[in-house]
Amino acid sequence: MFRKNVTTSIEAALLRAGLVDSEEGFKQLNFAVGYPDTAEHGDYTTNIALVLSKSLGKPPRKVAEAIVAALPESDIIACVEVAGPGFINFFLRPEALAQSLVRVIKEGDEFGKGKSLIEKRMMFEYTDPNPFKVFHIGHLMANTVGEACARLAEWQGATVVRTNYQGDVGLHIGRALYGMREMRDTQPPEAALGVEKVAWLADAYVRGATAHAESPEKATEIENINKAVYEKIDAEINELYQLGRRWSLDYFEELYQKLGTKFDHYIFESEVAGPGMETVRDYLAKGVFAESEGAIIYDGEKHGLHKRVFITSAGLPTYEAKDIGNQLRKFALEPTLDFSYIFTGAEQQEYMKVVLAAMHDIRPDIAEKTTHLTHGLMLGPDGKKMSSRKGGAPSGDGLLLELEGLVAQKLAVSRYDFPPEEARVVADKVAVAAVKYAILRQHFEKNIIFDHEAATSFEGDSGPYLQYTYARAKSVIRKGEDLGLVSSMENQELPGALERHLARFPEVVADAWMAITPSGITTYLIEIARLFNSYYGDHPIIREGVPETAYRLALTAAVAQVMKNGLTILGIPMVEKM
């Protein structure tokens, strides 16, 4: 990466000029090597002189001039200038930028991959929907963020293990089973679509939840159903439970396939509730937990947190005890993990602080390797809680279906006459791009404003615009191939903004992982798309008999490759025609 070369040159200059006394002293300096706002200021800029000026007691420009004078010769850097109060701007050699294009094409799908996490084994837990309940917008957001961050780690060389933790026991199951039993006359046939089956399960849950709130008698009946699930003593309940669980999980798999996720481990509450409760009781005797009014609690107040119940007075495990079991289960499945990341909505933040504090008292090695990250809410264009176009809160899969319908309408008037099945596949992919980009375009901790029309636009700041740019580049390449034109680096043009930005891709990927946020990649890809589409408009690429055509085809191939690699990291599917 060019930034590394620039940084190495700065280090050499500081040592040569006596501005630092050792490599270790250089590493202690808190300075930046970044990208200038405009091309007139070079390819890289640094504030190192401003950082050093205070300790040296000299004006920043004088320090900058001393650094520039001490810079070693470089086959990467063409020239250097001091700007403003003491910034140092670096300009790369055109031949170095040309070589970066060669590298893009040569490395192909490997271009942009780093080695900072080589030999690290990392687990990413995300999505975590509950069988018998709706796949919510929050599950869609957690899946999008978790998958993109997992891919960022993979692109830095880590071995990534994807895990999904799901609640297949608990009172919500009792409510759903009550509703299923009451609604058996409307139960969909086995041959029905997955979306129809889960819609029926969702209605059954609502019916059970309503009944639970209506009267103490129905609440008791539902609680008895819930108990029967644990004890497996009722044949009808067992049958309904297995049916609903299977329908839910099968449908979730359909969604994961559409979203581009394949999990390595599925952990269920039914598996970890017992071990979690047993662990809590064991550590009650060791003073980690305490008894309070017949329940077993963890006193988080000693850590500046709050108290939470882990085992109820009825002797049942709470979510907290199950989550203790979940953390233990993950490290039992993958004992050589170096890091474990958990992605949930922001509403889980205080809850997870207590769980991880308790985990630290039980297994500090697990707690110290575990990081909990949260995403914000998805809000409507008015900044308020989203509602579906038919009214009510939208589900994650429902939002995708709405977007697929919007995209299908746009494809119907596109310049391509898609056959019906191809149009459906393209609409599915574009809908995924629309929602994923909207979630990832800013830091995922923030709330996002989601607008259906803006998200599905084929122009501007959107996922479909990135897909469109990739499709345009591939179309140009296909046209060149049909005409027998060959791309090459001969007759290359003076590198412009597009070439300079393409060369930065490995650095952008590395920075995105360091910040553990994919938003840097979305910003970068939008800029590449803007630059390429502007270049496409200003420079005819396919012109037989024109010497520049070979280079412009090579540049287009590099754009397509970088777009493909960036979209792959984001989990956004490619589309060849739009």
Q: Which CATH class is domain 408-570?
A: mainly alpha
- What are 333-371's pLDDT values in tens digits? 999 999 999 999 999 999 999 999 999 999 999 999 999
What share of residues in the chain are helix, strand, coil (percent, to 5)? 60, 10, 30
Average pLDDT taken over every residue of the chain:
95
Confidence at 390, pLDDT banded by 50, 70, 90: low
Q: What is the mean pLDDT of residues 44-71?
A: 97
Residue range 2-92, CATH number: 3.30.1360.70
- What are 437-473's pLDDT values in tens digits? 999 999 999 999 999 999 999 998 999 999 999 999 9
What pLDDT score does 230 carry?
A: 85
CA dihedral in degrees (96, 100, 102, 107; nearest 10)? 150
What is d(CA 439, CA 141) in angstroms, rounded to the nearest whole number?
7
The CA distances from residue 5 to 80, 114, 197, 522, in Å, are 14, 15, 57, 25
The CA distances from residue 505 to 101, 220, 334, in Å, are 11, 59, 32
Angle separating helix axes 420-440 and 463-482, nearest 10 degrees: 130
What pLDDT score does 214 carry?
A: 93
What pLDDT score does 178 carry?
A: 97
- What are 149-177's pLDDT values in tens digits? 999 999 999 999 999 999 999 899 999 99
Per DSSP (E only), the strands in 126-216 are 159-166
Sign of CA dihedral 33, 35, 39, 43: positive
Percentage of the chain modeled with pLDDT above 70 = 99
What is d(CA 3, CA 64) in angstroms, rounded to the nearest whole number?
18
Q: What is the mean pLDDT of residues 389-393?
A: 55
Domain map (residue ranges) of the chain: 2-92, 408-570
Q: Residue holding tokens 């990466």?
A: 1
Q: Return the SS3 of 90.
A: strand
The CA distances from residue 461 to 33, 319, 558, in Å, are 27, 40, 21
For residue 120, is pLDDT > 70? yes
Q: What is the mean pLDDT of residues 399-414?
A: 92
Does residue 145 contact residue 156 with C-beta atoms inside 8 Å? no
Spatial strand order in the sheet of 44-46: 33-34, 44-46, 87-92, 77-83
For residue 417, is pLDDT > 90? no
Based on the number of CB atoms within 10 Å of its own CB, is 86 exposed (0-12), middle (13-18) or buried (19 or more)?
buried
For residue 389, is pLDDT > 60? no
For residue 413, is pLDDT > 90? no
- What are 4-36's pLDDT values in tens digits? 999 999 999 999 999 999 999 999 999 999 999
What is d(CA 142, CA 3) in angstroms, rounded to the nearest whole number?
33
- What are 282-293's pLDDT values in tens digits? 999 999 999 999
Percentage of the chain modeled with pLDDT above 90 = 91
Q: What is the mean pLDDT of residues 181-194?
A: 96
Q: Token digits for 553? A: 């085809």
